Amino acid sequence: MTEGGTLLASHAAPLRWLIGTELARYRTSARLSLSEASTRTGISKAKLNHLENGRQQQDPDDIAVLLKAYGAEQRDIDRLTSLTGRADDATWWAPWAAVVPDWLKTFVGLEGLAGSEFTFEPTIIPGLLQTQEYAAAITAKSPRVRGDHGERFVSFRMARTRRLTAADRPLALHAVVTEGALRLAVGDADLRRAQLEHLLELAKLPTVTLQVVRPEDGPHTALAGPFVLLDFESARPICYVELKDGAVYLQESDQVSTYRMVASDLQQVALGPEQSVALIEAMLAQ
């Protein structure tokens, strides 16, 4: 954990990582060091460290003992212990493990567990809303992806988008993009037209809300850049901020609340969903 409660993703199964960060947060709230928590619970300091960083399977009994020692309420104990049985479930991104960096594996794993997502993207079309051709053009320009991994990385991006149309538990997505992102010169005119048409089709889904923010709509509080808010049924929400060579995960309630206020501000400043669709249709007509 870095200063200010910022959490950096470790190389762990996403749900185990999520459980571990919650354990650490409860311990910190109880004002206990690892040594003090070990003395109080009889669980070794080394094991506590492994449980908190998510590098080993968390046992429900251990979780319950720890949370009781930290003064957690019974509903929170039940909530976290119910998650532990799913922590090592097979991950959908396993076929692409060789081409996806660890920090991104953590994000897509958490996204797969989330019930809803808010995303703001000022530069490009968000990944969940990209066509395969758009994704290929963006990937070809990315210094992060090796040339011989490009095709597999694009197929990984496309697999990620299936959450939007999944028959069981589709992801509820609210995306705010800038007009500049819609007009970014990615590929040729046909590719860009197909991408805009794809956005219009996705906007028809009952689980997808799309808004566009234009320069003339005025300033907003998301000027620091893109971010994602993930909400879960049985865990606390997380804010994800991507960096050049990694990612930062914010889970402290004050930090998440700040980004939620930014998301609310964006929704107020941006065009409404119907107006946003009309703008995209006008762009296609030009």
Ordered domains of the chain (ranges, CATH): 11-84 (1.10.260.40), 97-285 (3.30.870)
Arithmetic mean of pLDDT, 228-236: 86
Bigger pLDDT: 108 or 34?
Answer: 34
Bigger pLDDT: 222 or 125?
Answer: 125
Question: What is the predicted pLDDT for the residue at 200?
Answer: 97
Q: How many other CB atoms sit within 10 Å of the CB of residue 94?
A: 10
Q: pLDDT (tens digit, 9 = 90+) per residue, 30-44?
A: 999 999 999 999 999
Smallest CA-to-CA distance from 255 within 22, 52, 6 is with 6
Q: How far apart are the two ends of the chain, measured CA to CA in Å?
A: 50
Inter-helix orientation angle 34-41/45-53, to 10°: 110
pLDDT tops 60 at residue 106: yes
* Separation of alpha carbons 278 and 282, rounded Å: 6
Question: What is the predicted pLDDT for the residue at 142?
Answer: 64
Edge-to-edge strands of the sheet including 172-178?
6-8, 247-250, 238-242, 227-231, 116-121, 172-178, 208-213
Smallest CA-to-CA distance from 182 within 271, 107, 242, 104 is with 271
The most confident of 19-23, 24-28, 172-176, by mean pLDDT: 172-176
Question: What is the predicted pLDDT for the residue at 213?
Answer: 96
* Separation of alpha carbons 111 and 100, rounded Å: 15
* Separation of alpha carbons 59 and 38, rounded Å: 16
Encoded tokens for 108: 């897509």
SS3 196: helix
What single string gives the DSSP state of each residue in 77-116? HHHHHHHHTTTTPPPTTGGGTTTS-HHHHHHHHHHHH-SE
* Separation of alpha carbons 251 and 19, rounded Å: 12
Q: pLDDT (tens digit, 9 = 90+) per residue, 158-191?
A: 888 888 988 888 999 999 999 999 999 999 999 9
Percent of the chain clearing pLDDT 90 (strictly above)? 45
State the burial class of residue 259 (Cβ atoms within 10 Å of its Cβ: 0-12, 13-18, 19+): buried
Encoded tokens for 266: 């964006």
* Separation of alpha carbons 114 and 106, rounded Å: 12
Question: What is the predicted pLDDT for the residue at 1?
Answer: 39
Q: pLDDT (tens digit, 9 = 90+) per residue, 140-152?
A: 766 565 555 667 7
Arithmetic mean of pLDDT, 124-134: 92
* Separation of alpha carbons 126 and 177, rounded Å: 8
SS3 231: strand
Question: What is the predicted pLDDT for the residue at 10?
Answer: 44
Percent of the chain clearing pLDDT 70 (strictly above)? 84
Tokens 């994800």 sit on residue: 240
Bigger pLDDT: 54 or 44?
Answer: 44
Arithmetic mean of pLDDT, 184-212: 95
Mean pLDDT, the chain, integer: 84
Task: Spell out the residues 6+ positions from residue 116 whose beta carbon is closer than 8 angstroms to its own.
Answer: 171, 172, 173, 174, 230, 231
CA angle 186-134-275, nearest 5°?
80
Arithmetic mean of pLDDT, 8-36: 79
Question: What is the predicted pLDDT for the residue at 161?
Answer: 87
